[in-house]
Amino acid sequence: MSTPDLRKRLGQKQLVVAPGVFDMVSLRCANQFGFDALYMTGFGTVASHLGLPDAGLATYTDMVGRVKAMTAQAAAPLIADGDTGYGGLLNVRHTVRGYEEAGASAIQLEDQEFPKKCGHTPGRRVIPAEDMIKKIRVAVESRRSADFLVIARTDARTTLGLDEALRRAEAYAKAGADVLFVESPESEEEMRTIGRAFDLPLVANMVEKGRTPLLSREELQALGFRLAIFPVTALLAALRAMSGVYAHFRDTGSSAGVAVPLQDFADLTKLMGFEDVWEFDRTHED
């Protein structure tokens, strides 16, 4: 069931920071830090769940199951990547209803051609704006609660230029989108232009070594953005740490002397809920 929490929070002046979560361990870890929202990254979720690139290979069924699992344990509103809606207008209606029923607080829909490609990567092509306008209208009319937010993303900047991206975002706003997401601006000046153009909450997609400058919280707020997502930062950190551990295993045949900092095993058991299991066992001992 959607709540007004995310809508209210985005209406405030302070930036909402939504770190990417890509599996249940990352979700439970992020829960500990009191974020106002979490972002179910398509890139990371497809990678961790299927071991595949985020290139239109994951289906609605693959992803809605991940949404349901994550929202069941999320301590903050979950923003979920819905790609292109997984098909035509009827698919968009099915996807919006499914994501809302699964417990997400917002769905992100993009105007890429199918099969889509991950943002900040080359070769992304977009559908006609009129087709995406129809998708946004269907998404808005299909939700059961206005508290379930529709985030409209355009990938037009990379191939068609900023002016076309701005034109599309304006059209998507008129179609009823709650939040606008102009993907991959390539300079701080472009971000400033986007921030000045719209009254709706705006998304800044912070991808390390991506196409968009990495800015501070204060800089993003000053430019007019209200939601910053960091889809792969935690995944990149985890991959770097795991690579170091596996290389040490290969070279030494042991974890003794590994240079990578390790979390205490006791912290991991606590994070995953073993204390509740132990308390249950004590309560029901013969």
Distance CA 179, CA 273 (A): 35
Asked if residue 2 has pLDDT above 80, the reply is no
Average pLDDT, integer, range 89-95? 98
How much is the pLDDT for 122? 66
Bridge partners for 16 per DSSP: 227
pLDDT tens by residue, 126-142:
999 999 999 999 999 99
pLDDT (tens digit per residue) in 142-185: 999 999 999 999 999 999 999 999 999 999 999 999 999 999 99
Alpha helix locations (H) across 175-271?
188-197, 217-223, 233-252, 265-271
pLDDT for 114 equals 79
Architecture of the domain spanning 5-238: Alpha-Beta Barrel (3.20)
The tens digit of pLDDT for each residue in 72-86 reads 999 999 999 999 999
Q: Are 178 and 151 in contact (CB under 8 A)?
A: yes
* Cβ atoms of residues 172 and 133 within 8 Å: yes
pLDDT in tens, 6-48: 999 999 989 999 999 999 999 999 999 999 999 999 999 999 9
The tokens describing 115, both together, are: 């099969």
pLDDT of 56: 87
Which secondary structure element, helix H or strand E, spans residue 179, and what is its range?
A: strand 179-182
**What's residue 124's pLDDT?**
78
DSSP-assigned letters across all residues of 98-148:
HHHHHT-SEEEEE-BPSSP--TTSTT--B--HHHHHHHHHHHHHH-S-TTS
Nearest to 46 by CA among 37, 34, 38, 55: 55
* pLDDT of the residue at 210: 87
pLDDT at 123 exceeding the cut of 90: no
pLDDT at 244 over 70: yes
The answer to whether the pTM exceeds 0.85 is yes
Rounded Cα gap, residues 83 and 214, in angstroms? 23
Q: How many Å from the N-terminal Cα to the C-terminal Cα in the chain?
A: 40
Q: Distances from the Cα of 55 to the Cαs of 44, 181, 209, in angstroms?
A: 12, 19, 19
Q: Helix and strand tally (H, E) in the chain?
A: 13, 8
Q: How many whole angstroms separate alpha carbon 143 and alpha carbon 145?
A: 6
Taking phi over 0 as left and psi of -120 to 50 as alpha, with beta for the rest, 37 belongs to beta
What pLDDT, in 10s, does the model give residues 99-121? 999 999 999 999 998 776 665 56
Q: What is the mean pLDDT of the chain?
A: 95
Eight-class DSSP state of 35: -
